[in-house]
A and B are shown apart, each in its own frame.
Chain A
């Protein structure tokens, strides 16, 4: 009898965990299929505000120096000066996609974003990776709900592929 109750409890817990896993998606993403496997991809490109959040945490929480923060500023071909870029947070461009990032900057952001969201238990299994414009193009061809924007090759999007149970869904 005890074993039956224990079995029922375990089955119940498993069911609950599965339901929870299905309901939780990484922040900013929507579900998509990539070669038959379920992934989560950014619904919108990373915005200036997302980038400011990143820089703010590096500066105020991780205590990076000003010189280190400067290395994470986008290409000055897109923004004339660091000051101009910083002022975007006060105008209507704050929600527009950030552009002019190099590969190192993009990867650093994805790593930070993973660590940051993983601090919340429900997101503990999610790891963001940078998705290239070509990969995203391919993903769009497989998923009608995904949309490309005009300057898609210049923006940053992330994808979450390797999380618990992803392969079988």
Chain B
């Protein structure tokens, strides 16, 4: 998983990228797209501290309609309540002590993977589709991890997880 930051320079309209875990790996590019591509190529150290990012959410008449945040690669992402329901959103982001017994493990894991931007496909097969064991699924669901190393193959088909617990 590549983690990096991208900023624009004012004078020349070029884009600066640098790896979060190793800022000495950096460079400039003509466009944001090119900067992102370069960063993805160069920041693949396989390590990422995956934590829920800051999030803005919109509530209408007391009901959440959508929420927006920056994903792991710096893209702004918006989800609507139809994609990730409010109770799961609150549970994943730790805003509310939602009773986990009332939630489906698969639904929560799908939401987490979507939020991290690494969701492929799923339903009841979500664990198998992402090469997660039952035990790893429980760790994700119960949020009992301290850090996760996720390596994804270049063709984005193979997932390799390493969990470090609390």
Residues of A within 8 A of B (CB): 27-28, 42-44, 46-47, 49-50, 52-54, 56-57, 60, 89-90, 113, 116-117, 119-120, 123, 158
Q: With contacts defined as CB atoms under 8 Å apart, how many contacts are there between chain A and chain B in the complex?
A: 49
Q: Does B102 contact A (CB under 8 A)?
A: no
- B11 engages A113 (CB within 8 Å): yes
Chain A contacts of B16 at CB under 8 A?
Answer: 49, 52-53
Residue among B7, B10, B28, B30 having the largest count of chain A Cβ atoms under 10 Å: B10
**Smallest CB gap from B30: residue in A:** A119
Q: Does B133 contact A (CB under 8 A)?
A: no
- A47 engages B10 (CB within 8 Å): yes
- B12 engages A27 (CB within 8 Å): yes
Chain A contacts of B11 at CB under 8 A?
Answer: 27-28, 42, 46-47, 50, 53, 113, 158
Chain B contacts of A119 at CB under 8 A?
Answer: 30
Q: Does B153 contact A (CB under 8 A)?
A: no
- A56 engages B10 (CB within 8 Å): no
A-B pairs with beta carbons under 8 Å apart, 29 shown: A27-B10, A27-B11, A28-B10, A28-B12, A42-B11, A43-B10, A44-B10, A46-B11, A47-B9, A47-B11, A49-B16, A50-B10, A50-B11, A50-B12, A52-B16, A53-B9, A53-B11, A53-B14, A53-B28, A56-B27, A56-B28, A57-B28, A89-B26, A90-B24, A113-B11, A117-B12, A117-B13, A119-B30, A158-B11
